Amino acid sequence: MILFDFQTFLNQKYGGISRLFVEVMSYLEDKQCQFEIPVVASENVNLIGKSFFKPSSGLKYSREIPEVENWLSGRSFSGKNALYLIYKSIKTIQSKFIFRYLYRKNEKIISTRLKDQKTKIFHPTYFDDYYLKDMSLGSNKLVLTVFDLIHERFPGYYKLDDIALRNRRSLCAAADTIIAISESTKIDLIEFYGIPDNKIEVIHLASNLHLAPNIESKLVWKDYILFVGERGGYKNFNNFVIGISEIIKKYKLNLVFAGGGKFSFEEREILKKYNILGKSIQIPFKSDAEIKSIYQNALAFVFPSLYEGFGIPLLESMSVGCPVICSNTSSFPEVIGDAAITFDPWYSESIREAVEKLINSNSARKKLISKGLERSKQFTWEKTGEKHLKVYKQLLESSLESY
């Protein structure tokens, strides 16, 4: 039997890591393979509702207290701000307490399962190494998925006690097979950790965004360039703004930032410095249908990140007919092929030139849309699941041969 653990499903409410594991488990379920995901409670939207998610009766986990938030939001009274701050403090303490309780409870379940002779393959979903002591007691095979080595590439952006930075190297050494989500990540594993080539399997990610319902755009703004997701550090926000600012003003365009939270003070200041704060908006999105609509109504999606292990937004954009303009580093060329205009993300002038190429040519835009749609078809969750199953089968066969 294949055993998955709880880590990403407690740490993420949304997110690409949890999406990957849910898609793999869905594939295994379709193929009637034996597996287990013993998570006692989760608020992860990708996991909730799946038949293989069987939370403990009566246990619920949420970072929010909706009854209190709804009551506060609907009223205006003296002292409301003070009461809200008290509520936030209580919520934070409560959330941490519940999280730690659930974490320990899940750890105990995994420990029990690893000692059970039924478990043959263990595939943890993140980099806590709590299970290593139990792995040594049985004959279980360890599979580890590595998304990127961003902590090693850009250590200045992370705390020294970050769990991935602290444990990933030793877990890679302990793993029987490492799954890298791109050839770029595989190269990094070999370069930074000295992992043997034959220990690493590359399995690409996918996107089902094109299957989301079509809805009308809620954006009043038209003619906009799109930036999706987090903006800090290696996401290269500053260089992007410097490179795009003259184009926004010259062609009377707008700039939409989808997700990533509200602008920070520093971000507002740089947008103001380059005179495009009034042409820029940050918007949240709550569903696949919403972000699909945001992509479809954009002139182009620009992805200026200095580094990505894969870059799911590239697939999302291509699959719904939004032309891509992106960095030429790390995994980007591997994902986009010839279906994007690329630039050197370290130079703002390179960003400007790439975006202007598309703005000045409607035929180039149409060509990119067509190429992107075709390119995105090469990445499917079916392929991802199939390749994971192949890895598991190979490990099971090698385990039987060792007896």
Grade residue 231 by pLDDT with cuts at 50, 70 and 90: very high
pLDDT at position 86, please? Answer: 54
Predicted local confidence at residue 87, as pLDDT? 52
pLDDT band at 118 (very low <50, low <70, confident <90, very high): confident
What is the pLDDT, as a whole number, of residue 154?
Answer: 87
Q: Are the C-beta atoms of residues 135 and 142 closer than 8 Å to each other? A: yes
C-alpha to C-alpha distance for 247 and 278, rounded to whole angstroms = 14
> Nearest 10 degrees: CA dihedral of 16, 17, 19, 25?
160
pLDDT digits (tens, 9 = 90+) for 258-269: 999 999 999 999
The whole-chain average pLDDT of the chain stands at 89
DSSP helix/strand/coil, 220: coil
95 pLDDT above the threshold of 80: no
pLDDT surpasses 60 at 13: yes
Mean pLDDT comparison of 16-20, 48-52, 224-228, highest-scoring range: 224-228
Q: Using CA atoms, how far apart are residues 144 and 105, in angstroms rounded to an integer?
A: 22
DSSP percent split of the chain into helix, strand, coil, nearest 5: 50, 10, 40
Structural domains of the chain, with CATH:
2-206+381-401 (3.40.50.2000), 209-376 (3.40.50.2000)
The two three-digit tokens of residue 46, written as one number: 């990708």
3-class DSSP assignment, residue 311: coil
* Residue 192 backbone dihedrals phi, psi, to 5 degrees: -85, -35
Phi, psi of 260 (to 5 degrees): 80, 0
Question: What is the pLDDT at residue 84?
Answer: 54
Helix 237-250, helix 265-273: angle, nearest 10: 40
Does 221 score more than 70 pLDDT? yes
Copy the structure tokens of residue 178: 């490492």
* Closest by Cα among 217, 216, 222, 182 to 202: 182
- What mean pLDDT comes out for the span 174-179? 97
pLDDT of residue 80: 52
pLDDT: which is higher, 55 or 148: 148
How confident is residue 133, by pLDDT bands cut at 50, 70 and 90?
Answer: confident
The mean per-residue pLDDT over the stretch 136-155 comes to 87
Distance CA 135, CA 117 (A): 12
Which tokens belong to 357? 């190429």
Residue 3 CB neighbour total at 10 angstroms = 23
Which has the minimum average pLDDT: 150-159, 282-291, 324-333? 150-159
Kindly tell me if the per-residue pLDDT of 62 is higher than 50.
Answer: yes
